[in-house]
Amino acid sequence: MALSLGIDIGGTFTDLVLHDPDGLRSGTLKVLTTHADPVLGILDGTRRLLADRGVPPAAVSRVVHATTLFTNALIERKGAVTALVTTAGFRDILQIGRERRYELYDLQLVPPAPLVPRELRLEVPERVKADGTVLQPLDAAALEAQVAEAVAMGAQSVAVLFLHSDLHPAHEAAAAALIKKRFPQVSVTASHAIVREVREYERGSTASANAYVAPLAERYLARLGAELTGLGIAGPLVLMLSNGGLTHLQEAQRAPVQLLESGPAAGGLAAAFLAGPEEARVLAFDLGGTTAKLCVVEHGEPEVVFGFEAARQARFIEGSGLPIRISTVDLIEIGAGGGSIARRDAIGLLKVGPDSAGSEPGPACYGRGGQAPTVTDANLLLGYLDPARFAGGELPLDRAAAEATVARLAEALGLAPQDVAWGIHDVATEAMAGAARTHLAERGRDAAEFTLVCTGGGGPVHGCHLARKLGIRRLIVPPEAGVASALGMLAAPPRVDRVATLGRRLKEWSAADLDAAFAALEAEAREVLALGGWQDAALAPERLVDARCVGQGAHMPVPLPPTPWPVADAALHGLVAEAFHRAYQARYSRPPPAVPIDLVHARVVLRGRRKATAPTPRLGTAAGTGPERREVRFEAGTMTASVFSRAALPAGFTAAGPALVQEAGSTLVVGPAGRFTVLDSGNILVELG
């Protein structure tokens, strides 16, 4: 028996799933995240899950891991002390950025602060022109002196960013090699080794982020791998990437910036994987203890974009965060989860989040010392959660503590405690709805055309209310939705994304040279797959080009036809131009102007084959003698809801709301206008009237 173990660390819970590649799910577990040392929670959960299922550690053939640790380190500014080495005269490039105010008329605007303080931004004499001509050789002595000074000031990591290194990286490579040799205790990131794209600010921001989290990633991943081996798990540790693919330990330690969105990406994959091919348009909704994530899934795959902003100062405003140029699943994430804290604001209104009680101390009802009212406390008081069965009975809830903390807030607001509990639930759900509206509107999509797929511990709790706010009529809730992200990781294929600057007009490229540029990226990508042992699983590579009309500042990704390409220059120019015209028409609903085409970047995506198959559904054989009953609060008031155990429900079972369907990791809340049906796949379909 060869099993896969999925481990997903969130802000509140760490989810674990054992999965048989033949389609038999073997077990799941949720444990509280141990923030002081996340490895402790992983090891405790792994031991318990293996013991509970009677599985020897040696039977685990691989461990797939996703985590929000590196994102949190970036957001909370708890990474390594980082220095930046850059071309003389460009010390302040991270501070200047694009010289754009993301809110033009906000006099109190707070720009995103660079990860590297000014005293650790170092200038080194060197200069390479855009054509590759060396204008000034690298001054090795000055470099060594500058880095020595930074190390004396406490620098643990160094990012190297030289002008035009995306096209001509020799100076950067030499500088990185010198620093590693002279200061072996310091982590080094060369910008061209992380992202070979034009624009020094974006490349420098990405390299700085990688350097900022690299020491943490190196220590954490090395220790986790060693501890899992110590448990007797012989299978490799592989990591979930932000782009929805997997990579091996060595690549993750080299470029941990690729893992910043690994946890959220797993939710989108899980929704696509578990909803089934019959769902053409899916809005994936994953709600955990700290954040809510939403992403559009069409044609069975979440869309992947080639950059995002981390640590935004303004939630929905572009330019208010740190640009990170990596491939990532296109999603929106907000600070609204089960642990989100409710409060009275300065003008007397009820506000929820974005700060979270997390797992330490957690919501008041966890009985671990939490004093602030949270969304989970409200959901308990509304009757949605069974205090004895929460998290599979691993974490009994303290109703009296929840009542006390919500009562204090109710007194401050001058409202009844039960009304405040509903208000917390409604305000949190409205924050999720606002994020979804923004995400869909930016993509020109109508929410009514989508099926909402709810995962995470809180997704099924808030799903029906969210769907009503968005005008969505159908919901899918997969089995064991509370740990779906961990299962989504096990369905992910290996993936490598590579990019290089082209920087010339289309007609200046010969067919042979353009094909060679892509071939070099493909060779690099295959080498990464081979280091993970996936060389035999590689599929045909996908080729894209970032292109624009001459005179435009922005470019867009253009998928290119598969190889072999024509060898004649004119024929290949026509092929690329036709692909650009199609992409431009699809994006702007009009053909591009009749001007030359600029080729900005070449991109290659190389995937392996999926290992996991859909789990065999575990369905009940009978609905039982009759459901339990519980008083539950909805918008219209308090009602009596039927309470079902999901494990007992057979395929085809249907019932009208108000109803609750309970399982170990989550509870599905069906409002009075809804009806749910158990499908043959094990999914529950909810239809709203």
| Same domain assignment for residues 535 and 556 | yes
| CATH number of the CATH domain containing 250 | 3.30.420.40
Range 302-312 average pLDDT: 87
| Same domain assignment for residues 37 and 123 | no
Q: Is 481 within 8 Å of 682 (Cβ atoms)?
A: no
| Average pLDDT over all residues of the chain | 90
Helix (H, G, I), strand (E, B) or coil at 523: helix
Residue 182 is predicted with a pLDDT of 96
Range 314-319 average pLDDT: 74
Of 214, 241, 271, which residue sits at a domain end? 214
What element of type H or E holds 269? Answer: helix 262-275
Residue 612 is predicted with a pLDDT of 57
Q: Is 339 within 8 Å of 357 (Cβ atoms)?
A: yes
| Same domain assignment for residues 83 and 41 | no
Residue 657 is predicted with a pLDDT of 81
Residue 256 is predicted with a pLDDT of 95
Q: How far apart are CA 441 and CA 283, in angstroms?
A: 13
pLDDT: which is higher, 225 or 24: 225
Q: How far apart are CA 543 and CA 388, in angstroms?
A: 53
Question: What domain count does the chain have?
Answer: 3
pLDDT at 499 over 80: yes
| Same domain assignment for residues 33 and 84 | no
Residue 332 is predicted with a pLDDT of 85
Burial 21-43 (b: 16+ CB within 10 A, else e): eeeebbbbbbbbbbeeebeebbb
pLDDT tens for each residue of 239-262: 999 998 999 999 999 999 999 988
Range 43-58 average pLDDT: 91
Range 175-194 average pLDDT: 96
Q: How far apart are CA 525 and CA 607, in angstroms?
A: 9
Identify whether 488 is part of a domain. Answer: no
Range 20-43 average pLDDT: 81
Binned at pLDDT 50, 70 and 90, residue 636 comes out as confident
Residue 413 is predicted with a pLDDT of 94
Percent of the chain surpassing pLDDT 90? 63
Residue 581 is predicted with a pLDDT of 96
pLDDT at 94 over 90: yes
Q: How far apart are CA 223 and CA 56, in angstroms?
A: 21
| Same domain assignment for residues 206 and 90 | yes
Residue 450 is predicted with a pLDDT of 94
Identify whether 236 is part of a domain. Answer: yes
pLDDT tens for each residue of 411-446: 999 999 999 999 999 999 999 999 899 889 888 889
Residue 75 is predicted with a pLDDT of 81
Of 183, 214, 245, which residue sits at a domain end? 214
Binned at pLDDT 50, 70 and 90, residue 237 comes out as very high
Q: Is 664 within 8 Å of 444 (Cβ atoms)?
A: no
How many Cβ atoms are within 10 Å of 393's Cβ, its own excluded?
A: 10
Report DSSP letters for 195-261, one per residue: ---S-HHHHHHHHHHHHHHHHHHHHHHHHHHHHHHHTT--SPEEEE-TTS-EEEHHHHHH-GGGGTT
Give 2's contacts (C-beta < 8 A, 6+ positions apart). 20, 21, 59, 61
Range 645-649 average pLDDT: 90
Residue 258 is predicted with a pLDDT of 94
pLDDT tens for each residue of 511-566: 999 999 999 999 999 999 999 888 887 888 999 999 999 988 889 999 999 988 98
Residue 420 is predicted with a pLDDT of 95
| CATH number of the CATH domain containing 543 | 3.30.1490
Taking alpha carbons only, the member of 138, 182, 238, 308 closest to residue 532 is 238
Pairing outcome for strands 301-302 and 340-344: unpaired
Q: How far apart are CA 610 and CA 240, in angstroms?
A: 13
Identify whether 334 is part of a domain. Answer: no
Residue 627 is predicted with a pLDDT of 80
Taking alpha carbons only, the member of 438, 451, 443, 435 closest to residue 300 is 451
| Same domain assignment for residues 585 and 545 | yes
pLDDT at 25 over 60: no
Q: How far apart are CA 586 and CA 545, in angstroms?
A: 16
pLDDT tens for each residue of 570-607: 999 999 999 999 999 988 889 999 999 999 999 999 99
What element of type H or E holds 189? Answer: strand 187-190
Report DSSP letters for 566-614, one per residue: PSSHHHHHHHHHHHHHHHHHHHHSSPPPSS-EEEEEEEEEEE------P
Residue 351 is predicted with a pLDDT of 93
Q: Is 222 within 8 Å of 254 (Cβ atoms)?
A: no
Residue 613 is predicted with a pLDDT of 59
| Same domain assignment for residues 173 and 200 | yes
Q: How far apart are CA 188 and CA 309, in angstroms?
A: 23
Identify whether 177 is part of a domain. Answer: yes
Identify whether 470 is part of a domain. Answer: no
| Same domain assignment for residues 242 and 137 | no
| Same domain assignment for residues 539 and 583 | yes
Burial 263-298 (b: 16+ CB within 10 A, else e): bbbbbbbbbbbbbbeebeebbbbbbbbbbbbbbbbb
| Integer CA distances (angstroms), 201 to 88, 180, 206, in order | 15, 24, 9
Taking alpha carbons only, the member of 317, 364, 386 closest to residue 663 is 386
Binned at pLDDT 50, 70 and 90, residue 315 comes out as low
Q: How far apart are CA 572 and CA 566, in angstroms?
A: 6
| Same domain assignment for residues 131 and 176 | yes
Report DSSP letters for 669-684, one per residue: EE-TTEEEEE-TTS-E
Identify whether 248 is part of a domain. Answer: yes
Length of the chain: 689
Taking alpha carbons only, the member of 332, 339, 166 closest to residue 264 is 332
Question: pTM for the whole thing?
Answer: 0.88
Taking alpha carbons only, the member of 293, 111, 246, 269 closest to residue 533 is 246
Identify whether 142 is part of a domain. Answer: yes
Residue 618 is predicted with a pLDDT of 65
Binned at pLDDT 50, 70 and 90, residue 623 comes out as low
Q: Name the residue range of residue 29's domain.
A: 3-74+219-259
| Same domain assignment for residues 243 and 182 | no
Binned at pLDDT 50, 70 and 90, residue 617 comes out as low
pLDDT at 621 over 70: no
Binned at pLDDT 50, 70 and 90, residue 131 comes out as confident
Q: Encoding tokens for residue 413?
A: 């607001």
Identify whether 659 is part of a domain. Answer: no
pLDDT tens for each residue of 167-178: 999 999 999 999
Range 201-210 average pLDDT: 96
| CATH number of the CATH domain containing 136 | 3.40.50
Residue 270 is predicted with a pLDDT of 84
pLDDT: which is higher, 425 or 359: 425
Q: Evaluate the CA torsion angle 359, 360, 362, 367 in order and state its sign.
A: positive
pLDDT at 230 over 70: yes
| Same domain assignment for residues 42 and 84 | no
Give 542's contacts (C-beta < 8 A, 6+ positions apart). 559, 604, 605, 606, 607
CB-side neighbour CA atoms (13 Å) of 436 = 32
Binned at pLDDT 50, 70 and 90, residue 620 comes out as low
Q: How far apart are CA 199 and CA 442, in angstroms?
A: 25
Of 607, 642, 672, which residue sits at a domain end? 607
Q: Is 452 within 8 Å of 278 (Cβ atoms)?
A: no
